[in-house]
């Protein structure tokens, strides 16, 4: 299940027991819309093992600025509260899934 990442809940999710994947996106972004269904699918597949969240950069620009997000989509992978990997731009499901597997 995907969660909506906001300025208010990010720290709690980042420091939770499970790894966190955050998809930084915007409604007007074509590549974001392309990978959106892939992220949703992976969120279901990894439910209970990885928390998967979407962060709208328009609504949560503080978070985007904190992580230096300049291009979207950008996916950040967190483990133990720290960024351990990053993907910029659209990618195939297999490529994104590799990053999910690396978190486990």
Q: Could you give the residue numbers annotated as active site?
A: 29, 32
Q: Which residues contact 18 (CB under 8 A, 6 or more apart)?
A: 48, 49, 50, 51
Q: Which residues contact 49 (CB under 8 A, 6 or more apart)?
A: 18, 19, 104
């Amino acid at each position: 299940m995907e969660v909506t990442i906001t300025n208010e809940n990010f720290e709690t999710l980042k420091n939770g027991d499970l790894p966190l994947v955050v998809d930084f996106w915007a409604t007007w972004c074509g590549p974001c819309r392309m990978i959106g269904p892939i992220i949703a699918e992976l969120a279901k597949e990894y439910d209970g093992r990885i928390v998967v969240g979407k962060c709208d950069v328009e609504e949560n620009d503080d978070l985007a600025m904190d992580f230096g997000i300049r291009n979207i989509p950008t996916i950040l992978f967190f483990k133990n509260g720290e960024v351990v990997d990053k993907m910029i731009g659209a990618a195939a499901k297999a490529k994104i899934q590799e990053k999910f597997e690396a978190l486990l």
